[in-house]
């Protein structure tokens, strides 16, 4: 029987006040839905994350709010769809950002979950990848509500080992070292720690020691490493480093009062991208789409949640539809932190879902992807998408290529039923286009037809 989730200020069944949880949010980079043993991968060994899943709840319908990194991270931090902040793609150099109608960094005055928790008495830290802006005049992570930080792709202090050939291969251990040091220093205070890894984002270059368990995947009679050996070794090394973190929480007797959330920023990279041409075989599971795509494989990612005595152990939730913008209102509620005045979240408090109460989703989920999509044309989604209940609709802003799928029946998005459900199609198309019209203006990389119109689909309305 599931133990009730006691929120701040609410007493547990025996009358003892419940302590606010420590929060550790682990975000892998380009890890696919199907890349963990607990999600069914037949070869990759992830014993520590598999154990985390057995100790908590594994969700099968968790969505990020973009198919690429910077906008996905913006959604986690702000609780708002990233296009609201004009972050449509990955943040790059200033000239490239300007050409794509984007700022050079996430506005540090934006609503931020880290700042709300910091103001509520949490000690806050961010270690690992940042990718919310860097370069000349960019604020460092301290401006976003973090007491401590050591980051990559930011304007803050980085790692001394970044010039090492094997830095990326060993980076998760370095990130975990920083997190352990921070937790040791603040174990008597509530803490919020972001651990955002650099892997398995390409370019991958694991050490010989990391690759040894997967030597059977190395091609025979040629001096080359196989893509499977490289990718699998990287994910297993990630898992091993996180295992040290989990062990530390156990040894420090912090596990029972620490909420751990593990996820990924988007689906797996495509092997047709140059820096992944030797390793881009991450698994989107049974879904169509990869990184950048708005099909399920690009935006549907793992989510494991552990909070002993609060989140049920050994549970697989196949029903609940959750998304990254839910983080902000949920974590603020659990931490007893008020929302900012006038704040309009795009997400919703999912505390009831975490404690296994059935709670239907009230808010629809919207996506926009304005740029190119790599790889097989099967992955090339339209520009806009919306998930509403069991339905998911995709279309271009010019009302072309309208695709409707009932996700529980067709998670692979292979049977477009738009023509057979005109009322649902019209309703969701109107909602998606209205949302699109409310966003700040910005250029597409090319016309919707050139990028996203290579496959036939239903058209609605007048051209």
Q: Where are the domains of the chain?
A: 22-354, 365-452
| Helix H or strand E encompassing 424 | helix 422-438
CA 351 to the chain's CA centroid:
18
Strands, E assignment, 3-56: 22-28
Q: Residue 457: what pLDDT? A: 62
The CA distance from 6 to 214, in Å, is 44
The length of the chain in residues reads 463
Q: At 391, phi and psi to the nearest 5?
A: -95, 145
CA distances from 416 to 106, 251, 336, 390, 449 (A): 36, 52, 44, 14, 19
For the chain, what is the mean pLDDT?
Answer: 92
pLDDT band at 5; cut points 50, 70, 90: very low
The architecture of the domain spanning 22-354 is: 3-Layer(aba) Sandwich (3.40)
Higher pLDDT, 20 or 221: 20
Q: Is the peptide bond before 42 cis (omega within 30 degrees of 0)?
A: no
The CA distance from 175 to 89, in Å, is 25
CA 152 to the chain's CA centroid:
17
| Helix H or strand E encompassing 208 | helix 208-211
pLDDT band at 453; cut points 50, 70, 90: low
Q: Which residues contact 12 (CB under 8 A, 6 or more apart)?
A: 4, 6, 18
pLDDT band at 15; cut points 50, 70, 90: very low
Interval 297-352: pLDDT, tens? 999 999 999 999 999 999 999 999 999 999 999 999 999 999 999 999 999 999 99
Interval 337-395: pLDDT, tens? 999 999 999 999 999 999 998 778 999 999 999 999 999 999 999 999 999 999 999 99
Region 419-438 average pLDDT? 97
**Distance in Å from the first CA to the final CA of the chain:** 56
The CA distance from 263 to 196, in Å, is 10
CA distances from 148 to 43, 182, 245, 277, 351 (A): 37, 8, 17, 36, 27
Q: In the predicted model, is pLDDT for residue 451 greater than 70?
A: no
Among 367, 8, 29, 9, CA closest to 194: 29
Angle at 152 between CA 151 and CA 154, to 5 degrees: 80
Interval 121-145: pLDDT, tens? 999 999 999 999 999 999 999 999 9
Q: In the predicted model, is pLDDT for residue 208 greater than 90?
A: yes
Q: Residue 10: what pLDDT? A: 35
pLDDT band at 433; cut points 50, 70, 90: very high
Region 37-66 average pLDDT? 98
Q: Residue 459: what pLDDT? A: 65
Higher pLDDT, 26 or 221: 26
Interval 178-195: pLDDT, tens? 999 999 999 999 999 999
The neighbouring-strand residues paired with 150 are 127
The CA distance from 91 to 102, in Å, is 8
pLDDT band at 223; cut points 50, 70, 90: confident
Cβ count within 10 A of residue 240? 17
Q: Residue 450: what pLDDT? A: 45
Q: Residue 6: what pLDDT? A: 36
Cβ count within 10 A of residue 414? 9
| Helix H or strand E encompassing 242 | helix 227-251
Q: Residue 443: what pLDDT? A: 78
| pTM for the whole structure | 0.94
Strands, E assignment, 228-375: 258-264, 300-306, 315-317, 322-323, 365-368
Region 149-165 average pLDDT? 97
Three-state secondary structure of 101-159: CCCCECCCCCCCHHHHHHHCCCEEEEEEECCCECCCCCCCHHHHCCCEEEEECCCCCCC
Using DSSP's 3-state secondary structure scheme, residue 378 falls into helix
- The single-letter DSSP state of residue 11 is B
The CA distance from 325 to 169, in Å, is 30
Region 235-256 average pLDDT? 98
**Is 3.30.1120.10 the CATH number for 365-452?**
yes
């Amino acid at each position: 029987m599931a133990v009730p989730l006691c929120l701040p200020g609410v007493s547990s069944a025996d009358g003892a006040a419940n302590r606010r949880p420590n929060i550790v949010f682990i975000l892998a980079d380009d890890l696919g839905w199907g890349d963990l043993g607990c999600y069914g991968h037949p070869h990759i060994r992830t014993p520590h994350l598999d154990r985390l899943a057995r100790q908590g709840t594994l969700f099968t319908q968790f969505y990020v709010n973009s198919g690429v990194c910077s906008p996905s991270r913006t959604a986690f931090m702000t609780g708002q769809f990233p296009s609201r902040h004009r972050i449509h793609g990955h943040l790059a150099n200033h000239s490239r950002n300007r050409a794509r109608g984007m700022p050079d960094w996430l506005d540090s005055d934006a609503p931020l979950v880290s700042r709300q928790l910091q103001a509520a008495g949490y000690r806050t830290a961010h270690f690992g990848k940042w990718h919310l802006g860097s370069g000349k005049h960019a604020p460092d992570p301290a401006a976003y509500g973090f007491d401590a930080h050591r980051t990559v792709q930011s304007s803050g202090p980085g790692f001394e080992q970044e010039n090492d050939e094997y830095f990326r291969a060993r980076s998760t251990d370095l990130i975990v070292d920083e997190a352990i040091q921070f937790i040791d220093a603040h174990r008597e205070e509530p803490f919020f720690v972001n651990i955002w890894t650099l892997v398995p984002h390409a370019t991958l270059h694991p050490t010989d020691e990391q690759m040894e368990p997967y030597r059977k995947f190395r091609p025979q009679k040629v001096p080359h490493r196989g893509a499977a050996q490289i990718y699998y070794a990287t994910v297993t090394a990630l898992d091993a480093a996180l295992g040290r973190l989990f062990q530390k929480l156990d040894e420090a007797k912090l596990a029972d009062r620490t909420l751990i959330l593990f996820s990924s920023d988007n689906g797996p990279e495509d092997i047709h991208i140059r820096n992944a041409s030797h390793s881009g075989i991450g698994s989107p599971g049974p879904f169509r789409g990869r990184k950048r795509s708005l099909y399920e494989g690009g935006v549907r990612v793992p989510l494991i949640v552990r909070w002993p005595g609060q989140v049920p152990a050994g549970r697989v939730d196949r029903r609940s539809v959750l998304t990254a913008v839910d983080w902000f209102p949920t974590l603020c509620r659990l931490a007893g932190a008020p929302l900012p005045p006038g704040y309009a979240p795009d997400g919703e408090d999912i505390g009831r879902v975490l404690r296994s109460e059935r709670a239907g989703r009230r808010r629809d989920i919207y996506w926009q992807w304005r740029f190119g999509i790599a790889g097989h044309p099967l992955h090339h989604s339209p520009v806009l998408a919306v998930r509403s209940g069991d339905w998911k609709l995709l279309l271009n802003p010019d009302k072309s290529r309208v695709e409707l799928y009932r996700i529980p029946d067709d998670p692979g998005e292979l049977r477009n039923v738009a023509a057979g459900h005109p009322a649902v199609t019209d309703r969701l198309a109107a909602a998606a286009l209205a949302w699109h019209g409310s966003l700040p203006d910005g250029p597409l990389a090319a016309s919707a037809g050139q990028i996203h119109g290579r496959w036939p689909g239903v058209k609605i309305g007048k051209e």
